Amino acid sequence: MRVGILGGGQLARMLALAAYPLGIRTLCIDPNPDACAQPVAPVITAEFSDEKALSRFLKEVDVVTYETENIPIDCARYVANSHHLAPSVETLRIAQDRWQEKTFFQSLQIPTPPFAAITREAELSKAAQDLGLPAVLKTTRMGYDGKGQMLVKNPIDLSQAWSRFKDFSLILEGFIPFEYEVSLISVRNPAGEIRFYPLVRNLHIEGILRSSEAPLIHPTLQEQAQTYARRILENLNYVGVLAIEFFYHQQQLIANEMAPRVHNSGHWTIEGAQTSQFENHLRAIFDLPLGSTAATGHAFMLNCIGSMPPIQSCLRIPGVHYHAYGKQPRPHRKLGHITLIESKPDNYLKNKQLIIDNSNSR
């Protein structure tokens, strides 16, 4: 058994680490010659549009998945012609376009912020009036980690936002003054078996996920999120891990976006759940029974952005698990993450603080 992964970044790297024990080998394809999956999984360096490289890649693998939704849809179609691609082309098509995605959520009665497609400057003014300000102007495609978006607080910002983004396909979204952000990681296999991880509470800073805590124990919200996720999974006949990010506002979950892949807010599951999101994604796409998603303790996951915290002091903190991605440091770059697993509330709070202090100490 061999899985082909479109993309060779840290998600591919962690998928590979989960694959080997299942007897699954890996092969990635990525245009970046420094793709960090490299020492763990072989990587073909090629553009996703390079059909020669793609067919070389496809010859070696049984099932194909992707670690990013920024895969050209033509590449996905090419793969799906000859191979089982999971999640599907249709899922990818929806997930890589914010307008498609929100329209899809609406069609399933999943609440979203109010939104409007923008193609001309006049539409932007009109939409700003309809939705009210503040609002967020976003490119519909290729946005991640806060890129390709701008908060519009007052009418004067509108023309600035327009001139910055006018060459892109755009969407204006009403700003939700949310209390906090949560995500739900779910997984479905071809047999229709579905598992949900406990809800995760996330903290973003400057559009980048900074930390996650799980489980967020809130039975009503859990139920609500699962209901929405189930609609998506079943509607798309989904196979693999799906992450949905929600705003929590006035006791309601409002869907922000979905990611048809393993997700940063699920990294805590490596040690914090009985089966990690990476293993369950592989189990799903290889049509194997899914593993338990139950939490094994309380987890705090801190992203390491721009630099790794000192490993010596980090490993001295009880319950800490260190995950370096083997990437060159660069500002705003995700270089690794640290997970704390602890069951006792006092120790959890104390050690969480030690991790934060240690990460700021460099």
334 part of the interface to its own copies, by CB under 8 A = no
Quote the least distance from Cβ 328 to its own copies, whole Å.
Answer: 12
81 part of the interface to its own copies, by CB under 8 A = no
Of the two residues 5 and 308, which places its CB atom closer to its own copies in the complex? Answer: 308
Candidate residues 251, 312, 328, 360; the one interacting with its own copies per rule CB under 8 A: 312
129 part of the interface to its own copies, by CB under 8 A = no
In contact, 9 and 68? CB cutoff 8 Å: yes
311 part of the interface to its own copies, by CB under 8 A = yes
Of the two residues 32 and 292, which places its CB atom closer to its own copies in the complex? Answer: 292
- Binders of its own copies in range 253-282 (CB under 8 A): 274
Q: Where does this chain touch its own copies (CB under 8 A) — which range of 173-181, 200-208, 289-297, 351-359? A: 289-297
Quote the least distance from Cβ 337 to its own copies, whole Å.
Answer: 9
Judged by CB under 8 A, the number of residues near its own copies is 32
Candidate residues 40, 58, 152, 232; the one interacting with its own copies per rule CB under 8 A: 40
- Binders of its own copies in range 314-333 (CB under 8 A): 315-316, 318-324, 326
11 part of the interface to its own copies, by CB under 8 A = no
Q: Where does this chain touch its own copies (CB under 8 A) — which range of 71-79, 116-124, 143-151, 313-321? A: 313-321
Quote the least distance from Cβ 304 to its own copies, whole Å.
Answer: 11
Of the two residues 151 and 311, which places its CB atom closer to its own copies in the complex? Answer: 311
Q: Could you give the angle at the alpha carbon of 68 between the alpha carbons of 67 and 73, nearest 5°? A: 115
Of the two residues 98 and 298, which places its CB atom closer to its own copies in the complex? Answer: 298
Going from the C-alpha of 329 to that of each of 24, 57, 253, 305, the distances in angstroms are 30, 29, 36, 8
13 part of the interface to its own copies, by CB under 8 A = yes
Quote the least distance from Cβ 105 to its own copies, whole Å.
Answer: 32
Distance in angstroms (rounded) separating the CA atoms of residues 237 and 150: 34
Quote the least distance from Cβ 36 to its own copies, whole Å.
Answer: 10
23 part of the interface to its own copies, by CB under 8 A = yes
Tell me the three-class secondary structure of the chain, residue by residue.
Answer: CEEEEECCCHHHHHHHHHHHHHCCEEEEEECCCCCCCCCCCCEEECCCCCHHHHHHHHHHCCEEEECCCCCCHHHHHHHHHHCEECCCHHHHHHHCCHHHHHHHHHHCCCCCCCEEEECCHHHHHHHHHHHCCCEEEEECCCCCCCCCEEEECCHHHHHHHHHHHCCCCEEEEECCCCCEEEEEEEEECCCCCEEECCCEEEEEECCEEEEEEECCCCHHHHHHHHHHHHHHHHHCCCCEEEEEEEEEECCEEEEEEEECCCCHHHCCHHHHECCCHHHHHHHHHCCCCCCCCCECCEEEEEEEECCCCCHHHHHCCCCEEEEECCCCCCCCCEEEEEEEEECCHHHHHHHHHHHHHHHHCC
Distance in angstroms (rounded) separating the CA atoms of residues 287 and 239: 9
Q: Where does this chain touch its own copies (CB under 8 A) — which range of 153-161, 176-184, 222-230, 287-295? A: 287-295
Quote the least distance from Cβ 231 to its own copies, whole Å.
Answer: 27
340 part of the interface to its own copies, by CB under 8 A = no
Site residues (CB under 8 A) for its own copies?
A: 13, 17, 20-23, 25-26, 39-40, 274, 283, 288-289, 291-292, 296, 308, 311-312, 315-316, 318-324, 326, 336, 341
